[in-house]
Structure formats: C-alpha cells, structure tokens
Structure 1
Amino acid sequence: MSLAAKNRIVVITGANEGIGYHMLTSLLERGYRVAGLDINGEHISALQKIHPERVRFIACDVTEDDAVTTAIEGIIDDWGRIDILVNNAGVFNFAPFEAQTLADTKREFEVNYFGYLRMIHAVLPHMRAQNEGIIHNVSSGAGLVGHPGLTGYASTKGAIEALVRSLRLELQHENVSCTLMHPPLSNTESAAELGYPKSLLSDPADVGRKLAAQIESTDRVITADWQTKLGLYLSQRLPYMVKKGTERFVSPAK
C-alpha cells in the first residue's frame, strides 16, 4: 500500500463495469479509498464486502440533481473529504443520424455532459474549501474527430473537451485541477455494439490499471499509453485516416 495514497479519497462514476471498475480495483490495490457510483452496483458491492473500510458503492443516477448531491454529501460525511473525482459514466446510441431521435441525443447529453456538470458542481466547492483536488473527465477521440453513427455521443465528448479547456482557465490560480482522460477504444460491453475486430480493441482491465497509475496527474490531457497519444495526434492531423478507418460504417453511395 502506498503511504501517499493511504488517506486519499477517489470518487468514480460509472464504476460497476468496464474501465471504471478496473480503475476502482487498481486504485484499491494502490491503497486509495474509493467510492463507486453507478445505477447498479453488483461488482462494487462484492468488493465492499471484502474491503468495507476502503470501498463504498453508492447507487446514483447522474441525471438526477438530488441523487448526485446526496451521494457527494454522504461520502464527505463518511470519509471527511474528496480528493479526486473521475467522471466516467457514459452512454451512447449507435445509429445513423436520421434514425436517432432528439430523445436519444438528450439522454446522451444528460448522462455524458450534464452528468459530469452535476458531479463537478457538487464536488468543486469542497475541493476549493480544502484547497486541493483533481477532477478527471473521461473523453473520447470521437469528440475530437467524429465517428459515423455516433453523432450524439461525439457531440457530448466535444462539449466535454470545451468544458475542460474553459474550466482549467478559471482554475489556473487555484490548487484544483481539471483534466481530460483519453482511453483507447476498449473491449467493453458497450463498445462491442460498434463491431470493431477484437484485435483492434484494448483490454479494459489493462486500460483501467494504466489510467489508475496516473490518477494524481494534473496534465490537461491524460492518455492510457503512448499509442493512444500518438493515435489522437495523427487522427487530428491526418483526417483521411479517420475517414478510411470508419468507411464501413457509412452506407455506399446510391
């Protein structure tokens, strides 16, 4: 157990499965106390039974103002502070633009964008009061370069990119940092819907461990590894690579 991590409190949303869950388990191994927020908590609850002093499952729908406020206040009442927040909860609807309803896109924004905002609004005053804190926001390359069939999801991630750039400017003279976390496309249950070959997908357990290892970073952009960093760089500067890589998601010209 790291002595530096012993009394550090981390909150992760969308923590019951996928990258969020593996971040939680890795942080637990490193000595952190971790509160996992999710609608369902089967996997987190199992860990809580084994480590009741260092793991909490809190049922929380990030689309509900009162649920978010109650969750954060409960963690602070129980553990006294929150040092790090990881905004990770996310949903997407994979379909051509015309097949996606406004309700579909509003749902994506409620979870992926306003869910992040609700968490930040709840946590930031406490971090400012203790004069310390880190707010990580999980983003996606889709928010930088787009992706066919993910117009709503990509829009939410583009909004998160702008949010973090702006909030970092506001917080530049304070000891509270706001970052973007960019995992690679991983072999999660939700990503399977996209139909990418498994050979192109990263192991979510590996990604979770790599991001957990950087949990104390205050860099503006945090990637799981150098391959992800390079991929983001190339996709932004060589857009034909994105077009070529996503052609199979586009209907052929009539």
Structure 2
Amino acid sequence: MTRSTDEEVIILTGANEGIGYYLLTALAEDHRRIAALDINGDNVRDLQDDVVARVQYYECDVTDTDDVTTVVSEIIGQWGRIDIVVNNAGVARVASFQERSLSDTRHEFEVNFFGYYRLVQAVLPHMLAQGGGIIHNMGSGTADTGHPGLSGYSATKGAIKGLVCSLQLELRGTDVSCTLMIPPSVNTQMTASLEYPEWMTIGPEEVGRKLADKIHSTQPVITPDRTTRIGLLLTRWVPSLWKRMTAGVVSNS
C-alpha cells in the first residue's frame, strides 16, 4: 500500500487521555487525518479547535458492537477509507485477586480485548478490499510476566497477544499488517494507584510521540525505543528481577 500521508485516515481509540492523547497530538502536528474515538472527548475537542479539519472526534463505546460498526461506517462515509488503526483504549482495576469481582475482570475484557476485536472485525473487510492497511494493538509486557494487582488487565493483554499472533498468520499473503505496540510502564491515570518508583515509569507524552514516529511500522512487535525493548527482554529472561521490581508496587488494602 503506497499512499500519501496527507490522504491517509487513522483511527485511534482511547484518544482523550494518556498515551492515546499524546499519540493523537503528535499525529495531528504531523498533519495526519485522525478519527479520534473515546467515550469522553473533552481533550480532543480542545485540540480540534486548532486542527478541526484533520481531527474528528467520534463518541464511541468500544464495548458496544453497534457503536463501533456505526462509527466505522461514518468514518468511511466522511473520508472514504481507513488506512491505519490504533487499538489503544484500555482500563485496569488495581486490586488483589481476592478483592476482585468477576464483573471487574469482565469489564476489562470488554474494553481491552473485545473492544479491540470489535474494531478489527469492523475495519478488516475495508482494508482487504482497498488493498492494504495497518492494525496496531496496544499490548503490555504483563502478557508474559503477569503483574501483582493486575491479574485481569494482564489476562486481557495475554489474550490480545494471542489474537494478534493468530491474525499475523492469517493475513500472510495480504497487504494488511497486524502488530503489537508495547509501551514501558507509563505514568497515567490508569496506573496512578500503583506505587512504582520514579525510575520505573515514563511520561505518556514521550511514549505517545515515539509511537507516533512508528505509525507506519509493520514489525510484529513495536516498542517506542531500545530501552523498552531491552527491559522487556530482561523481565522475560530473568523472572526473579521482575518479581523484585514489582514486590512493593501495590499498596495493601
């Protein structure tokens, strides 16, 4: 798929805050056309004041199949195509397994796994028909290592990893790519209740901007930088290191 970046259409979920918001701002500053999806669009609307012609906010609940399919149809109706998707919406309930309810984990799966699934299902036929596209899916190192207090979130990311690996095999021979984007530990509202030491986290602005630079990457696994890539390898190869790093990050009730 060869296409001018001025003509491309990018869908970004979870665009109103955290990594998604800074990914959005970086792409907007680079004059990309972006459909920004979220259940709340306050920050996106502020951004639209400056780049209203290139950023369009769509209120969308990724847990609602009708919502997702309707929004995808509206985007195609407005811009005629979809070239890149970034499945970024995410939630996490921080609590020990004994303190969690089934509904907590069910909600995490509805957003973090089935939300991604719904959007892939809605856009994939269009990408195949137009002859190409890229579907990025926000993953996590916790898919391989687990995380105390994040059993539900880690499970959703493990499911996403399995889905992406399967899609990568199925899409061989097409010009549609499916990737995992894996950020480091990011200081966002979602992780605010985790007591990470300062050196373990990075700001969402830096991560969002680095991932924006890799928006056209079709590598199976995409990290924002070499440091993150090495850190992921270390935590997988030396499980005792990850155990020590996360031993005190969840406060006792």
What range is the shorter-chain TM-score in?
A: over 0.9
Q: Which residue of 2 aligns with 1:120?
A: 120
Shift of 1:210: 0.2
Alpha-carbon distance between aligned partners in 2 of 1:213 and 1:4, rounded to the nearest angstrom: 16
Shift of 1:4: 3.5
Q: Which residue of 2 aligns with 1:245?
A: 245
**Residue identity in the other structure for 1:192:** A
CA contact (8 A) 2:194 2:251 kept: no
Deviations 1:120-169 (A, max 9, x none): 00110000010110000001111111001111000000000111100000
Alignment of 1:84-123 (within 5 A): 84-123=84-123
Instruction: Could you tell me which runs of 5 or more consecutive residues in structure 1 were left unpaired when the two chains were aligned.
Output: none
Q: Which residue of 1 aligns with 2:64?
A: 64
Q: Which residue of 2 aligns with 1:235?
A: 235
TM-score, normalised via structure 1 length = 0.95
Q: 2:180 aligns to what SS in structure 1?
A: strand
Alpha-carbon distance between aligned partners in 1 of 2:202 and 2:119, rounded to the nearest angstrom: 28
Structure 1 runs (4+) greater than 6 angstroms displaced? none
Alpha-carbon distance between aligned partners in 1 of 2:83 and 2:246, rounded to the nearest angstrom: 39
Residue identity (%): 52
Alignment of 1:156-235 (within 5 A): 156-235=156-235
Q: 2:192 aligns to what SS in structure 1?
A: helix
CA contact (8 A) 1:5 1:30 kept: no
- The two structures, once aligned, show a CA RMSD in angstroms of 1.4
CA contact (8 A) 2:195 2:251 kept: no
Change (3 A) 1:5 1:251: closer
Number of matched pairs: 250
Alignment of 1:126-141 (within 5 A): 126-141=126-141
Instruction: Could you tell me which runs of 5 or more consecutive residues in structure 2 were left unpaired when the two chains were aligned.
Output: none
Q: Which residue of 2 aligns with 1:38?
A: 38
**Residue identity in the other structure for 2:114:** F
Q: Which residue of 2 aligns with 1:151?
A: 151
Alpha-carbon distance between aligned partners in 2 of 1:251 and 1:56, rounded to the nearest angstrom: 40
Deviations 1:13-34 (A, max 9, x none): 0000111011111111112101
Shift of 1:198: 3.1
**Residue identity in the other structure for 1:99:** E
Alpha-carbon distance between aligned partners in 2 of 1:69 and 1:226, rounded to the nearest angstrom: 37
